[in-house]
Amino acid sequence: MNLIENTIDTIQYLEINQNDTYENSLERLSSALGTKEILSGYCSKCSKDGNLTIEFGDTKCTMLRNEVTPILQDDGLVHKVQCQNKVGKIIKFRVINYDNNIFYLSRKSVVEEIRGQYNKTLQEGQLVKGIITNIDENIGCFVDIGGDYTAMLPKRYLEYVFVNNITDHVSVGEVIEAVIKEIDKKDNAINMITLSRIETLPPYEELISEFETGDIVIGTVNQITPKSIFAQLTKHLNITCKLSSNVRVIPGQKVRIKVKRTGNSIDKRLVGEIISVL
């Protein structure tokens, strides 16, 4: 499966060396002014108005709020959260103006180019790389895949196992790989992208290969249904156990389990019996 690298991470751009002199950074900014050359700098501040301070070497530049992204709210402005989230990150930009000894930058055209390419090339089944920007324990993960597209990684597509707490498996700021499960388009443009990480995990057959019928193992109860108890054996693997009146358990409890069945070519589920609570 081929990995579609984030376009925003693979575009050729010029990044200033922090040891370069002020004169050198001014010269490089000036040469890029009004051209399509993409530079890169560090976002050190977002003002109360949503304007960004971008440091290129030891030169401080300004990116006005509505130059951060082409994505606007109903009021015609860029959402301030979009701007605030750029603080502490490397930002790619073009130099669009120089006024009163200040270089003014824009990220809009860079993002528009990426979104245009994504709209033409992204397909269901492709592997992408992204950064987790937010986690909702009830829904799933929000993943930045570039071009200011926030894809959704639903909880059910995160692991083979039942996921109780998402933060036990991934964290905000973590770079992950996932497969595009579904692309929803509106007016021939990408509206929503749904991801699945399960396809990037080790094959299920490989995960269960270390277990044999009769093994006694330790698991952690992570889900109880009217008919079954699911216990987690490894980061990616669950075992299904029948409810028993002899053993009472609660989620999070460690239990001793006897493996009853390791599955067959059709049903590869591990099935076990809870022997006791630890």
Domain ranges of the chain: 3-112, 122-200, 204-277
* Common-topology check for domains 3-112 and 204-277: yes
Architecture of domain 204-277: Beta Barrel (2.40)
The torsion of the CA quartet 217, 222, 224, 225, rounded to 10 degrees, works out to -110
pTM for the complete prediction? 0.76
What are the pLDDT digits (tens) for 134-191? 999 999 999 989 888 999 999 999 988 888 889 988 999 889 999 999 999 887 788 8
Q: Is the confidence at residue 268, as pLDDT, over 70?
A: no
Tell me the C-alpha distance between 49 and 68, whole Å: 12
Architecture of domain 3-112: Beta Barrel (2.40)
What are the pLDDT digits (tens) for 188-212? 788 899 999 999 998 888 888 889 9
Tell me the C-alpha distance between 118 and 273, whole Å: 48
Contact by Cβ (8 Å): 259, 269: no
Length of the chain: 278
Contact by Cβ (8 Å): 86, 93: no
CATH number of 122-200: 2.40.50.140
What are the pLDDT digits (tens) for 215-230? 999 999 988 888 889 9
